[in-house]
Structure 1
C-alpha cells in the first residue's frame, strides 16, 4: 500500500497532480576526462560521460528529469556539475560536494543553479565525527536553504553518521540501498538499523545500484536476490513515499554489466505494482527535489 499519512507523504491528491510527469532519475553523474581530480580518490574513469549523452539516455527511455550527483573523484570542484545544471534548469537538479567550511554565499549561488543538497561520500574513510567532514555552521546554512544531506557510507556506520544530522534538524537521503556488507545483504545489522531510522520520518533511501552491494560475480545477475529482499523490507519500513529510484548512470566500475535500460527493467521487476512504482520513480522525487518549483 502507498503511504498517504504523515507530514512527508505525497498523498493521493498530490500524486494525481504529479501523475502527468514521466519518470525521474534521482541519481546520475556527468563528467569528462581532463577535469581536476580530488587528491584523495578511490577511482577515476578513463572515459567521458557528458551531459548530452546523459540527456540522450533520458530521452531514449522516456525519463523526464534527472538529479546529477557530484562524483567523488571530482571532490569539491563542482564547476562542471553547475554548468550542466544551468544548461537544463527545468530538467535537472543537483547534489553537490562542498568544502568543509562552505559559506552561505557560495551555497546560495549553487542553489540558483539548481543544487538542492550536499553529499557526504564517506565510503572507505575513517569513522570520525561528522564535524570532520562538514562544520556545524555549514550544516546550519544547508538547513536554512531547505536542502538535504545525502550520505554514501557503509551500512555498519550509517546510524552514527545519520543521527547527528537528524539532531541538527536536517533531512537525510541514503545512497544505494544503504550499502550493506555484500556477504550479509539484508542481514547486515547496519541495514537493520537503517530500517529503524524510518520512524524519524526524515530519512529517504535510494533504490539504486544494487550491484554495488554485491560481489562482482553476483553483479552479473539482472535482479540479485538481495534487491528483492531489500525493497520488500524498505517498503515495509519507510513506505514507498520515502524511497526513490536512481539509475546510477554511467555505472562507474560496472559499465560492462550495467546500462540505463537494465536499471529500469530491474525497477519494474522489483516493484510490479504500478502505483508503488510510480511513487518511487516519479512522485517522491518530483516533490523532494523541487521539480515543481523554480530555482532561487
Structure 2
C-alpha cells in the first residue's frame, strides 16, 4: 500500500535485471529492481510509478510485467509490442496496469521512422482499451507524428519534452507541429533534461517548459527517467535534480499539483 503523503506520480522509470537477455545489446544494464526506485520515489513523496519498457529488452516485456504484478494496482506500464500480439495478451497486460504502447524513434534498436501501418493496425485495439501511444522522438519527427494523430484514435504522449532541446530553434516546423499536437489533445512528459543538450541544473530549458505548459495545460506529466541510462551506474543525477526545472518553470504550488494529480492517461 502507498504510504500517506506519497501520492505523487513519476511517469517514466525503468526496471532492469542484469540476468535478463538484451537482444539489442547497445548497452548492458545493471540490476535496478522495482524496490529500489519505489524506495527512492517514496522518500520524495511519490508513491506511483509508470514503468516504461526500455529499448534494450526489445519487445520482451516480461520484466516490466513481473514488476507490475508485485504491486497490483499501484503502478502503470507502457510496453513495446509487435504486430503479432493478440487480444488475450493485451487484456492480461491491461489487468496488470499497462496503459500504453511505446514507439522509439531515437534508440539504435528502435524504429527508423514512425511506423504508420503498424500504428494503424493496432490503434483500434488500443483505443478500445483506453491505451495511449507514447513516442520517444526527435524534434524533426514531430510533423510526421502530428499527421499520424489527426482524427480519432488513441491519445498521443510525447516523451522527454518532445525532443525540443536547446539546439532546436524557437520557431520552425517542430514548434508548429507540437502546437498542432497540443491542439489535438496530446500529452507531454517533462523529463529527460540531459537528453536535450542541457547541463545541470537545466536552467536553459525553463523557458521551453513554460512555453509548452501554455500549450498543453493539464496534459503534462513529470518523470524522473530513473535510472538514467545515459550515465555510469555510480554517477546518476539526483532524484531531486530532475524535479527542479519543473518547480522553476511552473512555481512550487503548480508543480506539486501537477505531480500529485493522477493523469487520465493512466486511469
Structures share a fold, TM > 0.5?
yes
Gaps of 5+ in 1: 1-19, 291-296
Q: Counterpart in 1 of 2:12?
A: 27
Say whether the 8 Å CA contact 1:243–1:284 is kept in structure 2: no
Q: Counterpart in 1 of 2:224?
A: 247
Higher relative contact order (CA 8 A, sep 6+): 1
What secondary structure, in the 3-state scheme, does the structure 2 residue paired with 1:66 have? strand
User: Within 2, Cα distance between the matches of 1:109 and 1:166?
Assistant: 29
Gaps of 5+ in 2: none
Q: Counterpart in 1 of 2:121?
A: 137
* Match runs of 1:136-285 below 5 Å: 136-180=120-164, 182-184=166-168, 186-187=170-171, 189-200=173-184, 202-214=185-197, 218-219=198-199, 221-225=200-204, 227-239=205-217, 241-254=218-231, 256=235, 258-274=237-253, 276-285=254-263
Q: Counterpart in 1 of 2:113?
A: 127
Give the number of aligned pairs.
Answer: 258
Q: What is the CA deviation profile of residues 167-191 of structure 1, one whole-angstrom value per residue up to 9, with x for unaligned ones?
A: 3512110000011355225446314
Identify if the C-alpha distance between structure 1 residues 179 and 53 changes in structure 2 by more than 3 Å, giving closer, same or farther.
Answer: same
**Deviation for aligned residue 1:90:** 3.0
Identify if the C-alpha distance between structure 1 residues 66 and 208 changes in structure 2 by more than 3 Å, giving closer, same or farther.
Answer: same
Q: Counterpart in 1 of 2:74?
A: 91
Structure 2 length as normaliser, TM-score?
0.88
User: Within 1, Cα distance between the matches of 2:55 and 2:237?
Assistant: 20
Q: Counterpart in 2 of 1:9?
A: none
Structure 1 length as normaliser, TM-score?
0.80
Say whether the 8 Å CA contact 1:28–1:246 is kept in structure 2: yes
What's the RMSD between the two structures over aligned residues?
2.1
